[in-house]
Every structure is written in C-alpha cells, then in structure tokens.
C-alpha cells in the first residue's frame, strides 16, 4: 500500500506540475505561447505518461473522482479510497508548490490572478454561469470514467488504455477550458486554489462536488449498460 500511495502522490504531482505548469508558464508566452490546444495536450500527456509509468503500481487514478467512481463500479476497494484521495491531494499540492516557486521567479508574477485555478461566473474564463459549469464538469467527468473503465476492461485491447485515457483528457480540456478552465479532478483544483486563495478557494466546492457526481454517474452507466454479465461473452462466439 505504501508504494501505491507514493505512486498516486508522484503521479498527481506530475499532473498538476505538467498540466497547470503549461498553463501558467507557457500558454500565454508572447508569440510562442502554446494556447488552449497546448495546455489540453499537456494535461493529456501527463496522464498518458503516468499511466504507463505507474499503472502497474497504483492503477494511476491521480484523481479523487476516479477513485470514487472506480469503487462504485466495483473495480476498487472502498477501504483504499481515503488513502488514495489523501495521497492525490498532497501530491497535487506539492506539485503546485514547486510550480509556484518557479513561476514566482519572474518579476510581475501574481499568483492571485488565478494560477490556473478553476472558476465559474465572473471567474469562468469565458463567463459561464454556475449551472453551466456544474453541468459541464459532471458530464465530462462521467465520460472520463466511461473511457477509463472501458479501456481498462479485461476484454479491451491490451496496452492501449493509457493512450485512450490521455487523449480523452485532452479532448475534455479542448471542450471545457473556456468554461471552467477544466477540472474534472478535485485534487488538481485544490492544489492551485491553495496558492491562489481568495475566490479560487471560495469556489472550490463546485470542483469537488461536480466531478465526484460525474464519476459516480459514469460508473453507474458503465455498470448498468456496458459491464458484461457473468454469462455474457465479450465477443460473439467467445467461450
């Protein structure tokens, strides 16, 4: 269990440092900035690389909503959920701390300007309402769970799950960066909100509740519609 928790710690560190780091350090760089597409790809790459690196160690959840959704889908033990969530939150916070040390080395840096935090209303990148942001986070997290549960199923092609998951997270960011700055991950949201403070902390509740609700919804849909029954073959004619 210690190795699994360290895996979740380091993996979530990498997700926050790599994904949020791309937004803070590289997205707005004059003329050569990577923009929305670059940030979306960076988040996808963090998960893809860690899934291959740590998937055999901890399952590479890196996200409380994923751990809870996996438990609802009976792919993960409920007794392990609290430890995983703690490791993810701490790992993300440490990743954000290292990012803060680097970003604050530039004159004029203002962590309170956002620091890649998630928000709604006037703090949504394009001014989307609380309801719109809640729905987006629920729907996108539900689909993220469906991608994860489907691609890691024993009947799915072996070895390709990290690619599907990483590209799935990239697509999610391409859709929702203008809406909420994309969370679908309470640990990611908490990590940067700790440093941004103020409005980021006051709006953090949404980015715990909505992704967890989405994770549960995705798990229930998968279990009800896509999980095989014990007598149902994965492929017609399979013994």
In a domain, 236, yes or no: no
- What is the rounded distance in angstroms from the CA atom of residue 213 to the CA atom of residue 153? 22
CATH number (domain holding residue 117): 1.20.1080.10
In a domain, 218, yes or no: yes
The two tokens of residue 51 are 């899934």
Q: How far is CA 202 from the centre of its chain?
A: 20
In a domain, 239, yes or no: no
On the CB side of 188, how many CA atoms lie within 13 Å of its CA? 30
Answer whether residue 211 shows pLDDT above 80.
yes
59-74: per-residue pLDDT in tens? 999 999 999 999 999 9
In a domain, 233, yes or no: no
pLDDT of residue 236: 43
145-189: per-residue pLDDT in tens? 999 999 998 888 888 999 999 999 999 999 999 999 999 999 999
pLDDT of residue 158: 85
In a domain, 231, yes or no: no
In a domain, 134, yes or no: yes
Number of domains in the chain: 1
The residues, any chain, with a CB within 8 Å of residue 20's CB and separated by 6 or more, are 95, 96, 99, 115, 116, 188, 191, 192
Query: Rounded mean pLDDT of the chain?
Result: 92
Q: What percent of the chain has pLDDT over 70?
A: 95
In a domain, 235, yes or no: no
72-102: per-residue pLDDT in tens? 999 999 999 999 999 999 999 999 999 999 9
- Residue 33, φ and ψ in degrees, nearest 5: -60, 150
The better pLDDT of the pair 122, 112 is held by 122
- 8 A C-beta contact, residue 166 and residue 156: no
Range of the domain at 41: 2-226
The residues, any chain, with a CB within 8 Å of residue 73's CB and separated by 6 or more, are 145, 149, 219, 220, 222, 223, 227
pTM score of the predicted model: 0.91
In a domain, 213, yes or no: yes
- What is the rounded distance in angstroms from the CA atom of residue 163 to the CA atom of residue 34? 21
């Amino acid at each position: 269990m210690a190795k699994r928790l360290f895996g979740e710690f380091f993996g979530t560190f990498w997700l926050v440092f790599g994904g949020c780091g791309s937004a803070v350090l590289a997205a707005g760089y004059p003329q050569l900035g990577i923009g929305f597409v670059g940030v979306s790809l960076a988040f996808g790459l963090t998960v893809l690389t860690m899934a291959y690196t740590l998937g055999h160690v901890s399952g590479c959840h890196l996200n409380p909503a994923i751990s809870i959704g996996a438990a609802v889908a009976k792919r993960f033990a409920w007794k392990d959920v609290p430890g995983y969530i703690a490791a993810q939150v701490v790992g993300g916070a440490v990743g954000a701390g290292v990012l803060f040390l680097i970003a604050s080395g530039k004159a004029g840096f203002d962590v309170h300007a956002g620091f890649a935090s998630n928000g709604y209303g006037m703090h949504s990148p394009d001014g989307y309402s609380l309801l719109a942001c809640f729905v987006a986070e629920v729907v996108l997290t539900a689909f993220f769970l469906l991608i994860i549960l489907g691609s890691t199923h024993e009947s799915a092609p072996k070895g390709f799950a990290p690619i599907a998951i990483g590209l799935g997270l990239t697509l999610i960011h391409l859709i929702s960066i203008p809406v909420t700055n994309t969370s679908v991950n309470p640990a990611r949201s908490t990590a940067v909100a700790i440093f941004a403070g103020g409005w980021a902390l006051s709006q953090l509740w949404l980015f715990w509740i909505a992704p967890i609700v989405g994770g549960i919804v995705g798990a229930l849909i998968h279990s009800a519609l896509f999980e095989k029954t014990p007598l149902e073959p994965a492929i017609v004619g399979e013994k």
